[in-house]
């Protein structure tokens, strides 16, 4: 068999396995979604910036106060930096986050009429917005296909043998090729939750794993 045929065959096999994995995990995690609280694309962006190196639970304790004081991009763009820093201090790295949030809000207010763009290319021009954050927004605020490569997603898809890449952009590319567009956002969500609750970094719960039969990970544990 030629190299191209072998690659095509392997890809088809991986795509079928990804489909089966999704079918199982949708039943296991029917409520899978981002754990951040938000009511608009802008709120989701601000919460996602705050979530860097911070738990979602802590961010959700801060954002009600934040959004009550600054209900939109115009208000946050005009915020006194010291007051903004004090509100978001519990999330850590608050000085840098405050600068990113205020600058992103300023650009949205002045150049986009307060509305977040709905494409990855446009979103990633904003301060503090990488591809992961952009995919979260287009997937959950705009209903577009999104592959959200966070720590959990990268770990689980690697263990499942759906990618051999370590770079998030390349992982995203590989999974977009395997998962049909209508399923990409929900695939991201359920795999993320599986990484949180089953396929943990240090002690994966392989004996409890609902997709163990679909997983080639060699270091299965009894943890």
Please give the pLDDT value at position 2: 35
Is the pLDDT reported for residue 5 higher than 80? no
DSSP 134-200: HHHHHHHTS--------HHHHHHHHHTTS----SHHHHHHHHHHHS-GGGHHHHHHHHHHHHHHTS-
Residue range 173-195: average pLDDT?
A: 98
Residues with active-site annotation: 132, 150
Lowest mean pLDDT across 21-30, 54-63, 93-102, 122-131:
122-131
- The per-residue pLDDT for range 26-49, each reduced to its tens digit, is 999 999 999 999 999 999 999 999
Share of the chain above pLDDT 70, in %: 92
Please give the pLDDT value at position 30: 97
The backbone region for 40, taken as left when phi is positive above 0, alpha when psi lies in -120 to 50, beta otherwise, is: beta
Confidence of residue 221 (pLDDT cuts 50, 70, 90): low
Please give the pLDDT value at position 142: 96
Residue range 98-109: average pLDDT?
A: 96
Please give the pLDDT value at position 77: 97
Query: What is the separation of C-alpha 147 from the centre of its chain, rounded to a whole number of angstroms?
Result: 8
Between 1.10.1670.10, 3.40.50.1820, 3.40.120.10, 1.20.1730.10, what CATH number should domain 10-33+148-164+178-214 receive?
A: 1.10.1670.10
Please give the pLDDT value at position 9: 38
Class of domain 41-140: mainly alpha
Three-class SS of 10-35 = HHHHHHHHHHHHHHHHHHHCCCCCCC
DSSP helix/strand/coil, 98: helix
Residue range 50-74: average pLDDT?
A: 96
Q: Taking a C-beta distance cutoff of 8 angstroms, is the pair 76, 101 a contact? A: yes
What's this model's pTM, rounded to 2 decimal places? 0.87
Domain ranges of the chain: 10-33+148-164+178-214, 41-140
Please give the pLDDT value at position 127: 84
Is the pLDDT reported for residue 217 higher than 50? yes
- The per-residue pLDDT for range 120-158, each reduced to its tens digit, is 999 999 988 999 999 999 999 999 999 999 999 999 999
Confidence of residue 6 (pLDDT cuts 50, 70, 90): very low
């Amino acid at each position: 068999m030629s190299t191209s045929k072998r690659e095509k065959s392997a890809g088809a096999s991986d795509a079928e396995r990804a489909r089966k994995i999704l079918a199982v995990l949708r039943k296991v995690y029917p409520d899978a979604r981002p754990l951040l609280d938000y009511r608009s694309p802008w709120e989701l962006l601000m919460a996602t910036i705050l979530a860097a190196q911070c738990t979602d639970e802590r961010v959700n304790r801060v954002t009600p106060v934040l959004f009550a004081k600054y209900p939109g991009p115009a208000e946050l763009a005009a915020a006194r930096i010291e007051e903004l820093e004090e509100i978001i201090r519990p999330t850590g790295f608050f000085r840098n986050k405050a600068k990113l949030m205020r600058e992103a809000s300023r650009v949205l207010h002045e150049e986009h009429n307060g509305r977040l763009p709905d494409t990855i290319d446009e979103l990633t021009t904003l301060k503090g917005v990488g591809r992961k954050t952009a995919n979260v927004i287009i997937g959950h605020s705009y209903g577009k296909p999104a592959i959200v490569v966070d720590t959990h997603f990268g770990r689980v898809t690697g263990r499942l043998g759906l990618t051999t890449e370590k770079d998030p952009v390349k992982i995203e590319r590989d999974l977009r090729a395997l998962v049909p567009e209508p399923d990409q956002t929900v695939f991201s969500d359920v795999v993320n939750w599986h990484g949180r609750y089953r396929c943990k970094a240090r002690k994966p719960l392989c004996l409890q794993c609902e997709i163990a039969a679909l997983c080639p990970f060699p270091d299965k544990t009894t943890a």
